[in-house]
Amino acid sequence: MSEPVLPDEMRVSDAERAAVQERLRRAVGDGQLDLHDFDARVQSVWASKTRGELLRVTADLPEPPPPPPAPGRRPVFSDTDGGTAMRVLTIVWACAVAVNLVVWATVSLATGEFLHPWWLYVAGPPGAVLGVLYAAGIGRPQS
């Protein structure tokens, strides 16, 4: 029976090589590598046959930072406990409002007359509380 292959001795795919090349390209952009070093490392990447060889190409580089959020898209809530609480409370509030709005619309359509929009009494006060909490900075991301 043959011995199991160690992770560092496993063969790499072109997709893995391309991912490492992209990491090296970001390292150049971050000022961690110059173009000469980049060129030499990319040649090593594409000559690599195993994961161990591929890992050695980037072993001296720090872990890349997480990618920045897409331009124009800013998270509504922070990643803090307050942000999580606000996200959950907003979802619960939106569900309650949606259910009440659907019931009101269904009854209005079934009776053929416009009923007083009582669902606003369900939506308004808790929505106002959520708005005040958000305005006060609870769960809001830092600028």
* 26-67 residue pLDDT tens: 999 889 999 999 999 999 999 999 999 999 999 999 887 777
Q: 101 — phi, psi (to 5°)?
A: -65, -40
Task: Using alpha carbons, select from 47, 38, 40 the residue that is nearest to residue 14.
Answer: 47
- B/e letters for 4-21, b = 16+ CB within 10 Å, e = fewer, are eeeeeeeebeeeebeebe
Write out pLDDT tens, residues 72-81.
777 889 989 9
Verdict on whether the full-model pTM lies above 0.85: no
